[in-house]
Amino acid sequence: MVIIPSVVLLAFSPGERDVDKLFGRDHNVCKKLTGKVLFYMVFVETGDSSPWTDFDLNSTVDSIKVAISWLNETAKMNGKNLQINFNTQVDDSLKIIKQKLGGQVDNLIDDKEGLDKIDKWTNKIIKTKTGEKNRLKLITKLRNEYNVESVALVFMINYYYKEDFIFSFNTTNNDDVEYSIMNTKKPNLIAQDILNLFGAPYLYYHPSTVNKRDTKQLNKIFWNDVMANTNADLRKLQLGEITRYFIGWTDSLNEDYEKMVKEKPKI
């Protein structure tokens, strides 16, 4: 059965909507999902989001740990060396940053002005939390400090009254570091977000990756792939051929699958 998503998931670059020109495989800071990876989380209150309670923080952290554990174990089963590190005690991840955005994330992504506002907003958050000038400066520092090749930078918002969403930015170019903004406590969506930062496309209807016709076919073929599911139990999911290729676990991809994924969407 094809699951119709009730969440919003997008991958944009500020000012660039035709993201099918390039794909996120082997791009930028999050190149291949192998080796040592640092998951760096920033909890944010935007002014119109819900406040972070202790319960919200702890339940979200628990879900992140479930997602990371699943990814590490899945890598091991596929013969890949992967060690995603998420330590709330070391990097002070539970510190809440209050930074007004001047709009809601899922509305601001509709135009260049909104995307630029999000870009500047995230840099302000980084400066407030870490003292670093921007995301790039922080990522450079973290890579050296933790001796890692890749850093997954995530901003978590608590829109208690809204549908879950995950948005990825700068995944299809080398002009700026990747990052994502999430509003979810679902381990499978958190795992999806990490995979998307490393290049994996969503395998259901999504304006930045696949067209509606091929999405239905992909869902039938990869029905148990985490990138094709928004509500399924993460423990029952796998990584299919397309996902493994785009995160750098394999070096080739079936030509028919490549066409399905890379064809420009019809919306």
At residue 81, the pLDDT reads: 96
Which pLDDT belongs to residue 165? Answer: 87
* Strand partners for 82: 35
Q: Is 266 a residue whose pLDDT tops 50?
A: no
- Pick 8-262's CATH classification: 2.30.30, 3.30.450, 3.40.50, 3.40.390: 3.40.390
Q: Average pLDDT in the 94-118 region?
A: 87
Residue 6: the pLDDT is 44
Alpha helices in 38-83 (DSSP H): 54-77
pLDDT tier for residue 243 given thresholds of 50, 70 and 90: very high
Domain chopping of the chain, boundaries: 8-262
The lowest-confidence range among 30-44, 156-170, 230-244 is 156-170
Cβ–Cβ < 8 Å for 108, 115: yes
The two three-digit tokens of residue 24, written as one number = 């996120």
Rounded to whole angstroms, the Cα distance separating 81 from 1 reads 33
Lowest mean pLDDT segment, chosen from 77-81, 158-162, 243-247: 158-162
